[in-house]
Each structure stands twice: as C-alpha cells, then as structure tokens.
C-alpha cells in the first residue's frame, strides 16, 4: 500500500520537531493531514504553510480527543507526541509518573482504539508509533519514560495480532537522540539543552525520522515494515556496569 493508496493521515505532537516535519512530508505526498497538538498558534502556522487541518487539543483529555476524531476516517495514524522528565524512579514525583503515562501510552491506546476499527472495517490503514531506544535498552535515568516507551514497543507488536487478516500495517520507529525541543522542555532552558545535548554531537534530525516513516508507509501493499531502529552513527546503545564492593 504505497502512500497513493491512502487519503488521510493524523499526526500527534504536530506543532514542532518530528511531528511538524512529518505533517509537511505527508501533505506534500498528497494526503489530507490532520495535525494534533496543544499549541494552537504553532498549529495554525503549520496549517498555513502545509494545508494541514489543525486540531488544538490535549490528547490526554480523552473526551475532547474523542470529539475531535468523531466522523474522521484516518488511513495513516502517526503517534508521535511524547514527554519526558528527568530522574529515575527514586526521584520521580506523582506528576512525572502520571503525565508520562497519560501522554506516552494512555493517549496512544485511546487513539488506536478510536481509529483502528475503521481501518479494519475498510481493510486499509497504517499505524506508526514513535517509541525510543529507551524502550528496548536499559540505561540510567528517565525510568518512567523507559517504561512507557517499552509499552509502546509491545503495543506495536500486539496491534499486528489484533489486525490479523486485514490490510492494516503497523510500524514502530525506534530513534536514538533526535535534535528536537524535548530536552529543552525537560530542562526548561532551550539554550542550555542545546549546549548539553546537541552541540558537538551528530544527532539525528526530524527529517531523518520523517524519511523512515515515509519509507515504511510508501512500501508496497504486501510489505509491513514492523520495526525501524535509527540512531546517530556515533551513538551506541548498551553497556555493562558492575559495582565492586570490598569486604
């Protein structure tokens, strides 16, 4: 099912970074793209530039999200929205846990619940979930983020089982470090985040992720690209620590 087989798409976290680039890319390929994010001003600017349909809604508000999606037939769903908080489970507060669960996995489940049945009925659809290497590799910090992205990883595989026998494809995009605003929001200082996480590093760009999504969605109809792990060349996951104690 190349992109030409599809008519519509919906992208969450669309106002900036990966989401905005994906909206632009899919719109250029001729799809009617519904762009979902909380920032109405940014969404409108994106809509003016791309022709996308803006929906300023908080995806953690399930009632509002349900109203927004009512009557929409979406062929390509890109679950891109995500948040993170610093610290591991020893330092996490209630808000950090609840917010990341609400955005990173609960909203994803509801979006799929609301849109996948229509794909199954039409025998046509593609769900793209943006996870993270944090969901498949263990490294220090951001424990709740790791847990929620691991859930997205498992969900992506399970959806293929749920849609068995129908022409509904599911792709998980599993990136390493991408140069977006996520670290700036994490630190509350975009310039500090730029210096700490991006200056001197050859990080991925949002366009790299959009390339991988376009490749998966544009594959022939008999091909399902299930999992794409994409990292900067100089970023390597894994490693082993072993604390030594004497006496």
Tokens of 118: 């229509």
| Residue 145 annotated in active site | yes
Distance CA 177, CA 236 (A): 11
Tokens of 111: 């979006």
Angle at 65 between CA 41 and CA 100, to 5 degrees: 85
Q: How far is CA 215 from CA 178, 188, 228, 229, in A?
A: 18, 34, 10, 13
- Whats the size of the chain, residue-wise? 247
Distance CA 72, CA 92 (A): 38
Contact 94, 49 (CB under 8 A): no
Helices marked H in 51-166: 62-69, 94-101, 107-122, 143-162
DSSP string, 54-70: EEE--TT-HHHHHHHHT
- Identified catalytic residue from 6, 137, 145, 201: 145
- Max Cα–Cα distance, the chain, nearest Å: 68
Query: Mind telling me the catalytic residues?
Result: 145
């Amino acid at each position: 099912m190349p992109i030409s087989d599809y008519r519509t798409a919906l992208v969450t976290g669309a106002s900036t970074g990966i989401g905005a680039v994906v909206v632009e890319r899919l719109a250029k390929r001729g799809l009617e793209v519904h762009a979902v994010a909380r920032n109405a001003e940014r969404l409108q600017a994106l809509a003016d530039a791309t022709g996308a349909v803006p929906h300023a809604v908080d995806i953690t508000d399930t009632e509002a999200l349900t109203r927004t999606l009512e009557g929409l037939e979406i062929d390509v769903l890109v679950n891109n929205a995500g948040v993170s908080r610093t610290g591991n489970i020893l330092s996490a507060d209630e808000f950090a846990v609840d917010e990341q669960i609400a955005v990173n996995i609960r909203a994803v489940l509801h979006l799929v619940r609301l849109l996948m049945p229509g794909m199954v009925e039409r025998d046509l659809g593609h769900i793209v979930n943006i996870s993270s290497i944090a969901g498949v590799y263990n490294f220090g910090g951001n424990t709740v983020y790791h847990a929620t992205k691991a859930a997205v990883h498992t969900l992506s595989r399970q959806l293929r089982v749920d849609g068995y026998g129908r022409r509904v494809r599911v792709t998980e995009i599993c990136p390493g470090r991408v140069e977006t605003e996520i670290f700036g929001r994490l630190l509350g200082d975009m310039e500090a985040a730029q210096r700490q996480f991006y200056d001197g590093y050859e990080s991925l760009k949002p366009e790299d992720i959009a390339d991988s999504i376009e490749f998966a969605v544009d594959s022939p109809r008999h091909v399902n690209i299930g999992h794409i792990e994409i990292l900067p060349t100089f970023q390597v996951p894994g490693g082993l620590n072993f604390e030594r104690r004497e006496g």
